[in-house]
A and B are shown apart, each in its own frame.
Chain A
Amino acid sequence: MVTQLIKGNTAVIIGALYAGCDCYFGYPITPASEILHEASFYFPMLGRKFVQAESEEAAINMVYGGASAGHRVMTASSGPGISLKQEGISYLAGAELPCVIVDIMRAGPGLGNIGPEQADYNQIVKGGGHGNYKNIVLAPNSVQEMCDLTIKAFELSFKYRNPAVVLADGVLGQMVEPLKFPTNAVQPQVDTSWAVAATSQTRQNLITSIFLDFEQLEDFNNRLQKKYELIEHQEVAYEKYMMEDADIILVSYGISSRICRSAVEQARNKGIKVGLFRPITLFPFPAKELFKLAQTGDSTFICVEMSNGQMREDVLLATRCMRPVELVNRLGGNLITFDQVMQKIEEIAKGGST
């Protein structure tokens, strides 16, 4: 097995190549541009296709076109660019097309800055475009997962014919860690069972999100909801760390969860029973597991995220307000500090702030 020190953004492209992605469409934006650079370098080398588009809207519509033809396609950007892609993502979901979108979140709203934030949670997990659709959302917390979850995103997006998003942030995109290269590679392939691939077999296939008949569109919408229920039933992924006897449960994803892990260890050294619950899939959100935790113990939850509590709302819903759900956060491109998390843990351990 090959291990190399690699940047998070590069790991995304390594994953995409192993996942058989054969079309990349992008537009430069900090802090996601290295994904574009690596794709421009590796894709043509392997006989795959790379296009630098004139805008993010152009790129996502190229994704729509490539996906319609049954290919494994992707794009990547950061907050402002992802906002521009939302129109296309709604159409991709409406046409039930598989594709992978990578969001290296930066701080907003508006132009904001290029520091890390986790405030695209709502626009990615809750939709962002119009209509009753959902993205499959995977949240890596290491360079290894930047690669592995990109592969997983392709797998799930084809399994359910639905857009899948890898939701990471500026730190994960820019940081360098060892990456164990995947051992299996999927060859680029075309799914002719539904695509329009210019072959006689695919002549009957139709890619569309237009349903002018109201009843037909309602049926289609209901079918989409069934698909999302199935995804919720089958694909929830999360990681539990020192959760067995935890009185305080940190709920955190992405780079924030790495800081939480250190806080769990430090708190345990001080005799405070803290555990970490890390959602890996944000849709499907591990709501049932969180509900179970809320039901069975008298623990306090602390959401740790670089947003104004966007994920906390889902934790509140999942736990049905049975237990207190606190928030530790930073905004504006600032990383949450270890001390900040520790301070909240100690405050709660002393019986305050609930």
Chain B
Amino acid sequence: MVTMEDYPDIETEWCPGCGNFGILKAIRKALVSVGKAPHEVLIVSGIGQAGKLPHYMKCNTFNGLHGRTLPLATGSKAANHDLTVLTVGGDGDTYGEGGNHLIHAIRRNPNITAIVHDNQIYGLTKGQASPTSELGMKTKVQTHGVVNTPLSPLSLAVSLDCSFVARGYAGNIEHLAGILEEAIKHRGFALVDILQPCVTFNKLNTFKWYAERVYRLDEEGYVPDDRIKAFERSLEWGDRIPIGIFYKKEKPTFEDGFGTLGEGTLISRPKDQTLVEELIDSFM
């Protein structure tokens, strides 16, 4: 049986009070709930403050390139589809540098859980606006305030008919862990955008700011089975911000498209060279 002891605490280099701590804890809880042992799990990260998370997890992990988590994870999934693959990246990483990859990962639908630490700012490079920064937000680069319309990642995902779309809040660990558990169990690509206060560089979207606004979709009897309703909820932002599972749809996965994967992973398969030998013979 997998317990929290399998995912021990490791010293971190995040600022005290960072929303990342809640996300880290929720990921551990979710993995324990789904009964995945560290050796069965792969966490791939990009670069940014969120990108440090794999360093603080005892399981298979690697740091990829900034913005490229989803292609990296897709590669790992193609190589060994038995792995439970999670990606972690920030809003700059996933929606800026890697925005194009997100669109195509949703289309491809690999069985991956994409976790986005959405703090609406670049933290690692010390406070520039990100694709989700609010209009008018002042930073050291956007000195007169952000002028570009913020991206609504959930609307984008729903519009692409993404097979699992959810939003969590780093300030509600139990609820977030529940969402992540569902996301990991879901068969297909799951996007989990997490509202995450950055205590150092984002003075606008604070824990207090979120606490006054977030509400749980499940408490309003919302059922995540309707794309249009999900799109409407995804547009909700301001005085009330919904968290929970917005949309869920079973559809063929990336792995389903590979006939050969039905025979098991390479590592579990008997070493049979017959096909290769036949092919070589055909060239002779």
Q: Using a CB–CB distance below 8 Å, which chain A residues touch chain B?
A: 27-30, 33, 36-37, 40-41, 44, 52, 54-56, 80, 110-111
On whether the beta carbons of A36 and B124 are closer than 8 Å, the reply is: no
Q: Separation in Å of the B139 CB from the closest CB of chain A?
A: 9
On whether the beta carbons of B99 and A80 are closer than 8 Å, the reply is: no
Give the complex CA separation of A111 and B45 in angstroms: 12
On whether the beta carbons of A33 and B128 are closer than 8 Å, the reply is: yes
Judged by a CB distance under 8 angstroms, whether B125 is at the interface is yes
User: Which of chain A's residues have a CB closer than 8 A to the CB of B143?
Assistant: 40-41, 44
On whether the beta carbons of B131 and A54 are closer than 8 Å, the reply is: yes
Give the complex CA separation of A205 and B118 in angstroms: 45
Q: Using a CB–CB distance below 8 Å, which chain B residues touch chain A?
A: 47, 63, 65-67, 92, 96-97, 99, 122, 124-126, 128-129, 131, 140-144
User: Which of chain A's residues have a CB closer than 8 A to the CB of B141?
Assistant: 28, 36-37, 40, 52
User: Which of chain B's residues have a CB closer than 8 A to the CB of A36?
Assistant: 128, 141
User: Which of chain A's residues have a CB closer than 8 A to the CB of B140?
Assistant: 37, 40
* A-B Cβ contacts below 8 A, count: 44
Give the complex CA separation of A288 and B39 in angstroms: 59
Closest A residue to B122 using CB positions: A28
User: Which of chain A's residues have a CB closer than 8 A to the CB of B66?
Assistant: 80
Contacts beyond the supplied A28-B141, A33-B125, A52-B129: 9 A-B pairs with Cβ under 8 Å: A28-B125, A33-B128, A40-B142, A52-B128, A54-B96, A54-B97, A54-B131, A55-B99, A111-B65
The secondary-structure label for the interface of chain B is loop
Q: Separation in Å of the B95 CB from the closest CB of chain A?
A: 8
- 3 closest A-B pairs by beta carbon, nearest first, are A28-B125, A40-B141, A54-B96
User: Which of chain B's residues have a CB closer than 8 A to the CB of A111?
Assistant: 47, 63, 65
User: Which of chain B's residues have a CB closer than 8 A to the CB of A40?
Assistant: 140-143
Provide 16 A-B residue pairs closer than 8 Å at the C-beta atoms, listed in order of the A residue: A28-B92, A30-B126, A33-B125, A33-B126, A33-B128, A40-B140, A40-B143, A44-B143, A52-B128, A52-B141, A54-B96, A55-B67, A55-B96, A55-B97, A111-B47, A111-B63
Closest B residue to A26 using CB positions: B141
On whether the beta carbons of B128 and A28 are closer than 8 Å, the reply is: yes
User: Which of chain B's residues have a CB closer than 8 A to the CB of A29?
Assistant: 125
Give the complex CA separation of A136 and B27 in angstroms: 49
User: Which of chain B's residues have a CB closer than 8 A to the CB of A41?
Assistant: 143
Q: Separation in Å of the B273 CB from the closest CB of chain A?
A: 35
Give the complex CA separation of A192 and B126 in angstroms: 40
Q: Separation in Å of the B284 CB from the closest CB of chain A?
A: 37
Give the complex CA separation of A56 and B98 in angstroms: 11
User: Which of chain B's residues have a CB closer than 8 A to the CB of A80?
Assistant: 65-66
User: Which of chain A's residues have a CB closer than 8 A to the CB of B122?
Assistant: 28
Give the complex CA separation of A68 and B47 in angstroms: 32
Give the complex CA separation of A37 and B92 in angstroms: 17
User: Which of chain A's residues have a CB closer than 8 A to the CB of B128?
Assistant: 28, 33, 36, 52
On whether the beta carbons of B144 and A44 are closer than 8 Å, the reply is: yes
Q: Which of B66, B99, B141 has the most CB of A within 10 A?
A: B141
Closest B residue to A39 using CB positions: B141
Q: Which of B97, B99, B143 has the most CB of A within 10 A?
A: B97
Give the complex CA separation of A37 and B143 in angstroms: 9
User: Which of chain B's residues have a CB closer than 8 A to the CB of A55?
Assistant: 67, 96-97, 99
Q: Separation in Å of the A205 CB from the closest CB of chain B?
A: 31
On whether the beta carbons of B124 and A30 are closer than 8 Å, the reply is: yes
Closest A residue to B46 using CB positions: A111
User: Which of chain B's residues have a CB closer than 8 A to the CB of A28?
Assistant: 92, 122, 125-126, 128, 141
Give the complex CA separation of A81 and B66 in angstroms: 10
Give the complex CA separation of A52 and B130 in angstroms: 9
> CB < 8 Å: which of B47, B99, B126 contacts A54?
B99
User: Which of chain A's residues have a CB closer than 8 A to the CB of B142?
Assistant: 40, 52
